[in-house]
Chains A and B, each alone.
Chain A
Amino acid sequence: MKFHYSIIFVLMFSSFIGSFAQIDRKNPPKGDPPSVIRISKPQVFRLKNGLTVLCVEDHKYPVVRLSLAFDRDPLSQGDKAGIKDIFGEMLRSGTKKHTKEQFDEEIDQMGTSLYSSFSRIYLSSLKRYFVPSLALMNEMVLEPRFDNTQEFKKLIKRSLTKLEMSEKDPEAVSARVRNKLYYGNHPYAEYASDESLKNIQLKDFRVFYEKFFGPEEAYLTFVGDITKEEAYKLAEEYFSNWKTHPISSKKYQLPLPLSAIEIDMVDLPSSTQAVINVGAPVNFKKSSPDYFSASLANRILGGGSQGRLFLNLREDKGYTYGAYSSLIPNKDIGSFRAGAQVRTEVVALAVEEFLKEIRRIKEPIEEKELTSFKNEMSGNFVLALEDPQSAARFIVEEFTESLSENFYQNYLKSLQSVTASEVTQAAKKYISDHLRVLVVGDLQKIMPSIKKMGYPVHLFDKFGQPL
């Protein structure tokens, strides 16, 4: 059993406004004294089989939400890529007590929503139907049958169709090729192909289940109109007989980093716009001591509609509907990515601007700009607390991302303490000088201007194989 407390502190300083109804239109009004922010820390239980259980009470509406999330090391699907994508649906394709049709009928009759994937199962139900909904979800997790041939055929057919559809989808092609180039033989690079989908057999799901579906790596979270006592009792009742199984983990090699900027191109003649993606894999974790400096660097560069990329490529140049960047932490291997969809004629110009802004984020920044982004991040954090699921997510992340114990309790303080020079340092550390520029589009039109840029250019097919 763990501690239970809440921390209270004050967000941002501001001056008090005196008189009413006198307004100054010329200048933006100052804020009132800020509210006190409470971040409650829910209690955490662990069942004997290793399942972690927590509950956040929220009695606003008679609804209970339940999430069962898995935190596994990256795992390879071998020659059966695509099995992970359909595993969740196979899980709900029939249990010991219910056929798929009966199961679906009962879930829908209660107005319950149930979503299942390989990494997460999510249930949301009216309070009066919560226990029967939980019972069904529990059957699915503990007693799946994996013998529904009809559903299996459907899912394979659908995956094949999806694959076919992705052939003309520049975003899908870009993501697939990017992963291949960034991650090589790492599981993050795996993609479904005709061949791999045809390799999948019905019996593989049982094997996958036995191997990867255990309570030790799972987090069961109750949020909503339920008391902690009820939640823990239900968790014990329904999940204590979930059997543990051995966990294995493997380390994977990544491709060597680039030694210079290169431009990689994939031809998609049907595209009206080109998808530009500039980035590289990077060793960046949420537990990194400079997490906040690095996140601020990314925000300033391209975190949103006030980011430099957006202001430059959209608001100044009108090249795109939106240009953004992200610095994605991951306990195995993270990534830096910047991108936009732009019209064919301006691809080379847009790439230049991306590279320019990425160079510029490594130069000193002004205090005023930093403050504005700190405020944005603080505010977004406060806004996110509106969702009671945030409090649960924070706790789970403390475990899964190995965060310091009060990472989220200290979130606003840590953010405020970042200095301008720390942001520059973090930008230099996490955003490589040697990025990969991936362009997917109508190459016949794009190629001449790209070649003029003078960087090495490589061609790839839609699956990331060099041409």
Chain B
Amino acid sequence: MKILSTFLFAMLALSTSNVQISFTEYTLDNGLHVILHQNRTNPIVTVSVLYHVGSKNESPKRTGFAHFFEHLMFEGSENIGRGEFFKHIQSNGGTGNAYTQQDHTYYYETLPSNQLKLALWLESERMLHARVDQKGIDTQREVVKEEKRMRYDNQPYNIAFWEEIPALLFKKHPYRFSVIGSMEDLNAAKEEDYKKFYEIFYVPNNATLTIAGNINLEEAKKWIEAYFGTIPKGKIVIPRPHVLEAPLTSEVVSIYQDKNAQVPAVILAYRAPKKTDKDAYVLKIIDRILSSGESSRIAKNVVNKRQLASEAGAFLSDMEDYGIFLIYAITNSGVPLDEVVNALDEEIDRLKKDGIGQKELEKQINALEKSFIDGNNFMEDVAHNLSNYHVYFKNTNMINTVINKYQSISVEDIKRVTNRYLNNFQRVRLYNLPKSQ
């Protein structure tokens, strides 16, 4: 009878849009936080580990180190030889990857679910006693440099977005550096840097293990205890510096000469609040109002009607300590850059003065409800979202309730937040110009 009523409840939940993602979570004695989501639809499982360390934890003389370190964390362990980490995943039918951003480093693999233990073994080896030899360090350093060349040095606009803008927007906070860092700093890394970084940050009390997919919860818990329970807690207090930036008081205007660009572009960058701030949600809605969909304001007015830009938009990059709100445009041939800037400014001014109507707000709530569902389609996404809500919001269940936060936003909030954050004196205006050869 009990089973039946649970089942009926689940069916009811599906008949409205009130989708719930179930999970259990707990913390091991060594501080490792564990989140489990069971879904038996498909015989697959995603295992992920989020380490709460990113480029903002680097020393200013070692930019790019956190990301470089991520590469090294695939080199092997005391029981896994060089190059075998991925081989174990691949030869058992899985896929996996990792990425590094400003605030964290995220590792994940998805496998047929009968290989859960393999993933637990691999991730626990990485956490317990990763090992890197000189050949591994030398090779990965070259690989990372090629990654930098491919993604940044050989691409139009990317240096402006990821190196110039952060450096102009932040003066003291490590967000002023790009995640990929500099080649000089990569070359300067020493044995001691690796050891220290691993000892301080790659410890269970700085990690979140999330498993999503076709698992038996009780068995999974036993195996997690067996593989991770014996990993010692970190001995060093994890540094979490609070770097406060002085507010911007006048517009920073700058030019970047881009050898890869053929067409001029402009970027307007504003400093935004940290991602847990209520105003960050409001800015996310503003970003959508400006540029999500063909009926959004910048698409409709600047791109479609006035045809000043071939591509234009806005996006909020929300981070733990601050955010960056960007508006950008790549001009159409022959259009003066300042005409585009004026058109973008008109959109901001209109928001400040007139705000938006209730219908436009409902449009965004519909879109966010849809994007919530789209964003939890796959086990990899669910694992990723669960770990993020735990680490940054200390509230894993926000995966289910975040939509309420958006629903509580009013049309007045939109006006207020635009007036508070999107002012000329608080921004960087960067012209990305083709470099003449």
**Contacts from A to B (Cβ < 8 Å):** 11-12, 14, 17, 20-23, 25-37, 59-63, 92, 100-101, 104-105, 107-113, 124-129, 150-151, 153-154, 157-158, 160-162, 164-165, 167-170, 225, 269-273, 304-306, 311, 314-321, 341-343, 371-372, 375-376, 378-380, 382-383, 385-387
A residues near B369, Cβ cutoff 8 Å: 111, 126
Interface centre among B138, B300, B369, B377 (most CB of A within 10 A): B377
Q: CB distance B146 to A382 under 8 Å?
A: no
Q: CB distance B154 to A272 under 8 Å?
A: yes
Q: CB distance A269 to B114 under 8 Å?
A: no
Q: CB distance A341 to B310 under 8 Å?
A: no
B residues near A104, Cβ cutoff 8 Å: 293-295, 300
A383 vs B227: C-alpha distance when bound (angstroms): 25
A383 vs B359: C-alpha distance when bound (angstroms): 40
Please name 6 pairs of A and B residues whose Cβ atoms are closer than 8 Å in the assembled complex, sorted by A. A12-B112, A36-B43, A62-B17, A100-B304, A104-B293, A161-B332
A387 vs B139: C-alpha distance when bound (angstroms): 36
Q: Given that A29-B118, A164-B262 are contacting pairs, would A35 and B112 also be in contact in the complex, using a CB cutoff of 8 Å?
A: yes
B121 at the interface (CB under 8 A from A): yes
Stretch at the interface among B89-97, B194-202, B266-274, B412-420: B89-97
Q: A101-B295, A125-B370, A318-B146 are known contacts; what are 11 more A-B pairs with Cβ within 8 Å? A: A23-B227, A61-B373, A61-B376, A126-B373, A150-B307, A158-B310, A165-B330, A270-B259, A306-B90, A343-B149, A382-B44
A451 to chain B, nearest CB (A): 24
Which of A62, A129, A164, A170 has a CB less than 8 Å from the CB of B154? A170
Which of A127, A154, A165, A375 has a CB less than 8 Å from the CB of B93? A375
B352 at the interface (CB under 8 A from A): no
How many residue-residue contacts, CB under 8 A, span A and B? 250
Q: Which residue on chain A has the smallest CB distance to residue B39?
A: A60
Q: CB distance A273 to B146 under 8 Å?
A: yes
Q: CB distance B142 to A165 under 8 Å?
A: no
B residues near A17, Cβ cutoff 8 Å: 117
B366 at the interface (CB under 8 A from A): yes
B42 at the interface (CB under 8 A from A): yes
Which of A30, A168, A311 has a CB less than 8 Å from the CB of B156? A168
B313 to chain A, nearest CB (A): 14
Q: CB distance B373 to A63 under 8 Å?
A: yes
Number of interface residues of B (CB under 8 A): 92
B residues near A371, Cβ cutoff 8 Å: 91
A residues near B116, Cβ cutoff 8 Å: 32
Q: CB distance B86 to A319 under 8 Å?
A: no
Which of A14, A20, A380 has a CB less than 8 Å from the CB of B114? A14
Q: CB distance B260 to A107 under 8 Å?
A: no
B2 at the interface (CB under 8 A from A): no
Which of B219, B300, B378 has a CB less than 8 Å from the CB of A386? B378
Q: Given that A154-B303, A305-B90, A341-B150 are contacting pairs, would A25 and B79 also be in contact in the complex, using a CB cutoff of 8 Å?
A: yes
Q: Given that A125-B370, A318-B139, A343-B146 are contacting pairs, would A150 and B310 also be in contact in the complex, using a CB cutoff of 8 Å?
A: no
B residues near A304, Cβ cutoff 8 Å: 90
Q: Which residue on chain A has the smallest CB distance to residue B88?
A: A28
Q: Which residue on chain B has the smallest CB distance to residue A37?
A: B43
Q: CB distance B79 to A31 under 8 Å?
A: no
Q: CB distance A35 to B367 under 8 Å?
A: no
B240 at the interface (CB under 8 A from A): no
Shortest beta-carbon contacts, A-B, top 8? A379-B93, A318-B142, A35-B43, A111-B366, A372-B91, A104-B294, A161-B310, A29-B117
Q: CB distance A151 to B304 under 8 Å?
A: yes
Q: CB distance A32 to B363 under 8 Å?
A: no
Q: Residues 80-117 of chain B: 1 if any A CB is under 8 Å from the residue's CB, otherwise 0?
A: 00010011101111110000000000000011111111
Q: Which residue on chain A has the smallest CB distance to residue B364?
A: A111
B residues near A107, Cβ cutoff 8 Å: 293-295
B42 to chain A, nearest CB (A): 5
A82 to chain B, nearest CB (A): 14
Q: Which residue on chain B has the smallest CB distance to residue A368?
A: B91
A11 vs B112: C-alpha distance when bound (angstroms): 10
A residues near B149, Cβ cutoff 8 Å: 272-273, 341, 343
Q: Given that A271-B154, A272-B154 are contacting pairs, would A306 and B146 also be in contact in the complex, using a CB cutoff of 8 Å?
A: no
B62 to chain A, nearest CB (A): 20
A23 vs B363: C-alpha distance when bound (angstroms): 53
A223 to chain B, nearest CB (A): 11
B residues near A14, Cβ cutoff 8 Å: 114
Q: Which residue on chain A has the smallest CB distance to residue B303?
A: A154
Q: CB distance A386 to B379 under 8 Å?
A: yes
A153 vs B306: C-alpha distance when bound (angstroms): 11
B28 at the interface (CB under 8 A from A): no
B118 to chain A, nearest CB (A): 6
B150 to chain A, nearest CB (A): 5
Q: Given that A126-B366, A273-B154 are contacting pairs, would A379 and B114 also be in contact in the complex, using a CB cutoff of 8 Å?
A: no
Which positions 137-166 of chain B face chain A at CB distance < 8 Å? 138-143, 145-147, 149-151, 153-154, 156
Q: CB distance B263 to A382 under 8 Å?
A: no
